[in-house]
Amino acid sequence: MQTIAPTLSTLVLGEAAVHGRLAVFPLTGADAPGPDYLTLDEALAAKTLRITEVSAAGSVPELKAVNSGERPVLLLDGEQLVGAKQNRILNLSILVPAHAEITIPVSCVEAGRWASRSYGFSASRSAAFARLRAAKAAHVSESLASGAGRHSHQGEVWDAIAMKMERMNSRSHTSAMDDVFERFDDDVAAFERSIGSVAGQRGALFGIGGRIAGLDVFDRAATFDRVRDKLVRSYALDALEPDVGDAVPDQDGARRFLDALRIASARRYPAVGMGEDVRLEGLGLCGAALVADRALVHLCAFARPAVENGNGPEKTFMAGRRRGMY
């Protein structure tokens, strides 16, 4: 926590922007010195990054990233890649080094397809919905702690998407998470239009139905600006669920979440690409951070997920929200 706690202490918590049942508290502060990188969308647009299946046969939990550019590329935890044999999400945040080829850990979010639609992947407008990001973060931490790499519980990821579709009365012939976002695109877009950013905003706390659900913080405001809509869409899809209450979380809950995060326990591992992968566990929360060149490039944290129906990824997550810890 030598980097994480001091960084959090420099950020200022602002008043929430609210749309529907989603509240977004800005976190502002001066940019931190750190590596100069492109985001996924920037690198794909510049044609300096290519993400493909690892081979013609493919492998569900891993993809190949080739960066031919002069700058590293930041791949964001939960960011969705669409195309190739099936859609995937990033299991954690990764800095792909310049002029490098690496294998990246992913999870499938389209259980009903294993057939090529394109050679490479493109970036989706949406990241994984927040509940799924929370569950996956816990999965990856468990996998690393057991020495099994950076894997999710793939079956539970598929179950979470299936339950999401059931709760939101949505269907997809390939069980694709992206189809849920497409069905609710007009509703989700309304959140994007209503929730902007403020000067110097490096991150945000997100509250749903009166409880803090999670947080994302970056080393610089420009990065948050570039990925803000993906993050808002992620939380908006959860805020649209019919079981979510109408209450708005207050700043006290946001501060309690930040305080718990500052004292969370941390396990450090060499990152997949550049830097260190830090896995976080605290009172009622879990999360991860990517640290490179002594800078906190990305921090994400979530109200702790757990089980929905005895062995799935979401029920304790909802129970924690009902208990009102944050």
Find out whether 82 and 40 touch, Cβ atoms under 8 Å.
Answer: no
Of 148, 78, 129, 85, nearest to 106 by C-alpha is: 78
Please provide the average confidence, as pLDDT, over all residues in the chain: 93
Helix (H, G, I), strand (E, B) or coil at 238: helix
Looking at residue 325, its pLDDT comes to 64
What integer pLDDT is reported at residue 3 of this predicted model? 85
Of 35, 46, 174, nearest to 97 by C-alpha is 35
pLDDT digits (tens, 9 = 90+) for 178-204: 999 999 999 999 999 999 999 999 999
The whole-number pLDDT of residue 231 equals 98
Region 41-49 average pLDDT: 98
Q: Helix %, strand %, coil % for the chain, to 5?
A: 30, 30, 35
Would you tell me the crossing angle of helices 130-145 and 154-167 to the nearest 10 degrees? 170
Say if residue 311's pLDDT is above 70: no
Query: Does position 322 have pLDDT exceeding 90, yes or no?
Result: no
Q: What's residue 47's pLDDT?
A: 98
**Mean pLDDT value of segment 295-322:** 63
Instruction: Give the pLDDT mean for 24-40.
Output: 97
Question: pLDDT-based confidence at 304, cuts 50/70/90?
Answer: confident
pTM of the model: 0.93
